[in-house]
Each structure stands twice: as C-alpha cells, then as structure tokens.
Amino acid sequence: MKPFAYARPADVAEAVRSVAAEPGAVFLGGGTNLVDHLKLGVARPDLVVDVRTLTSREVLDLEDGGLRIGAAVTNSGLAADRRVRERYPVLAQALLSGATGQLRNQATTGGNPLQRTRCVYFSDVSTACNKRQPGSGCTAVGGSTRNHAILGTPGVLPDPTAPETCIATHPSDMAVALAALDAVVHVQGPAGERLVPFADLHRLPGEDPSRDTVLEHGELITAIDLPPMPPGARSAYRKVRDRASYAFALVSVAAVLPGDGGIRLALGGVAHRPWRARRAEEILRGAELTEHAVRAAMEAELVVAQPQPGVDGGNGFKIPLVSRTVVATVRDLALEARP
C-alpha cells in the first residue's frame, strides 16, 4: 500500500479545507470501500482525512415531518430507526438488502452513496479502466458484463479504446431508495453549503467516467434529508441477485407511491447511477396500476436500453428482469393498499 498521511481535523470546515487544498487527499468515512481500495492500489491518496466522528450520528425530526440523517449515522443504525421502518420502508429494506451486518455497522450514510462501482475491471489495476485511469480504455466492453449497465451507456459494444467508454453500474442499494424518495443532500464545500437533489447526485459517464457524482473535490456530504411522507403513502424495495444474501444487485427497484396519484421508480444495477424511470413515471401518473399498465410503461422506459454482449453471455437478461421486478414490486404495493 502506498504510504499516506492521516489527519483527523477538529471540525467539518477544517476537514473540507484540508481536502480542498490537497489534490491527493480523500475523505475517510466508515472505510469499508476505501480501505479495500487502498489495499488493491485502486485508491492511492497522499492524505486521508478522517471525517467519521465529525458529522452527526443522529436522525432528527424536521418541522415539515421529514427526517434529517447525519452523515455519520451507520447503515445499520438507520435501518433500525423506528421512523425509517414505519415511514420509509423502501429505505430500510434497501439498507438491509445490502452488504452484511458487520459492514452495515461500519458503513455510513455519507459514505454509502460515494462507494465506487464493483466492476471487476475497475478493481483490477492490471486492466485498462477509464474510471480508474482516465484515457486507458474499458476492459469491460465485450468482457464479463453480467453486472454491467444497460442504460445510459455510450452504445451497444461501445469502442473499448475511447476515453469516454464506461459500462459500470453504481452498486449502492441505499442510493436507489434515496433517489426514489426525492431525498436532498447537504454538501459542505470550501465556499459554503449547498443542497443537491439526491436524484442529481450521481452522473452518467458522459465525457468523464472517472467522476461518479457531481461533487467537486473537497465537497463533503454532511447530512441527507428525507421529505415528509403523506399518511397512506407506501414504498418498497426489491432486489434480485445471484445469491440469497450478501451479493450486489443484478437489478433492483425502489418504488414509492406518495398517495397523490403519482409513482416514483428508481432502478438499481442497470446504470452508472440510480436510474429514475421518469418516462415510466410519467406514463403511469394518475393511471390504474395494473400489471399490464406497469409492463407497458416499463417497455417504454426500456426502449433506450442497450444490452451489452459479453463472454459470460452478456446482460440482455436485465431488460425483461428489471421490467418484471418493477411489475412485481408495484403489484405488491397495490395489494397492500387494498382493505
């Protein structure tokens, strides 16, 4: 492991200043992803700035009926919170479907959304990867693509030598739920605080696959707000994976029925970021949520899908799988609503 300096500043402002001033600096939260990347050589910082004890470990009630989650609240603490279990089941279910008990005790609210992709080529420093080493190319194209994206990619079998090619997915379950909940992220930067809608936090690869989020170097997540859920609102998270436990999603669905005739759908395991299915949401607004209607809306959503061929058979199976998973999730929520 490359040597690095370690700092535990007195407060958030000092931490932000330290990282902003040093291009080779990173924040350390629970460390479950970063420490692994230090060992693998995927992350090679000069300075590690520990913020785990600097932000709030509490979940606070907001005046509007929502919740403010401190960035240092652990994934297990958040999933166990009675208010989250009762009012935001989609979030509790997403958290509990991710990782293991040990990891959830260590992982934080601020760190979880910033974990890196589990693309095996990203983790393997001997291979080309535009996300890890910009401009080096993409080994995933045509390789093992079972865990890769079908939406927001530069095409079917994009040019593996192009600097913008990346077909990685975002691995977080929690992030999919927060995208569907229209959560809001508090971000502290050198110039002060700004708010970022959670659904806009993560980006598509675009011209620069090395950037997972819209955060600038030195910006730190200090809290995440959940908007109030009206009485009668319902939500659920459903995850499909290769093992019954402790595996990343092949596909996952966070569905929120706020009770105003609308529906909010976020998909995991299909894109470089949690994918809000806005086209399907629009089609289903005010409609009766029959299986037929949901399936048709997902067909429209997935018209732009680009399944990736691969030596492992590729990931075309994700198109029907994610569609069926949405249908099943919404059906269960509709059944729940019946008296």
Residues 51-80 within binding reach of other proteins (CB under 8 A)? 52, 76, 79-80
Asked if 92 interacts with other proteins (CB under 8 A), we say yes
Q: How many beta carbons lie within 10 A of that of residue 304, not counting itself?
A: 11
Size of the residue set binding other proteins (CB under 8 A): 36
Q: Torsion-angle region of residue 155: left (phi > 0), alpha (psi -120 to 50) or beta?
A: left
Nearest in space to 97 (alpha carbons), one of 278, 236, 276, 211: 236
How far is the C-alpha of 317 from the C-alpha of 119, rounded, in Å?
A: 18
Asked if 87 interacts with other proteins (CB under 8 A), we say no
Least distance between other proteins and beta carbon 182 (Å)? 21
Asked if 269 interacts with other proteins (CB under 8 A), we say no
Nearest in space to 114 (alpha carbons), one of 43, 36, 202: 202
| Among 69, 73, 99, 250, contact with other proteins (rule: CB under 8 A) | 99
CB 265 within 8 A of CB 177: no
Least distance between other proteins and beta carbon 125 (Å)? 14
Asked if 233 interacts with other proteins (CB under 8 A), we say no
Nearer to other proteins, 32 or 323 (CB): 32
Nearer to other proteins, 5 or 311 (CB): 5
Of the candidate spans 15-23, 25-33, 112-120, 297-305, the one that interacts with other proteins by CB under 8 A turns out to be: 25-33
Least distance between other proteins and beta carbon 137 (Å)? 25
Asked if 24 interacts with other proteins (CB under 8 A), we say no
Sign of the torsion formed by the C-alpha atoms of 246, 276, 135 and 49: negative
Asked if 252 interacts with other proteins (CB under 8 A), we say no
Asked if 126 interacts with other proteins (CB under 8 A), we say no
SS3 234: strand
Nearest in space to 255 (alpha carbons), one of 233, 271, 230, 286: 233
Least distance between other proteins and beta carbon 30 (Å)? 8
Length of the chain: 339
Of the candidate spans 35-43, 140-148, 279-287, 309-317, the one that interacts with other proteins by CB under 8 A turns out to be: 35-43
| Residue 21, both tokens | 């001033």
End-to-end Cα spacing for the chain: 59
Asked if 39 interacts with other proteins (CB under 8 A), we say yes
How far is the C-alpha of 134 from the C-alpha of 156, rounded, in Å?
A: 21
List of residues contacting other proteins (CB under 8 A):
1, 3-6, 8, 28, 31-32, 35-36, 38-39, 48, 50, 52, 76, 79-80, 85-86, 89, 92-93, 96-97, 99-103, 105-106, 244-246
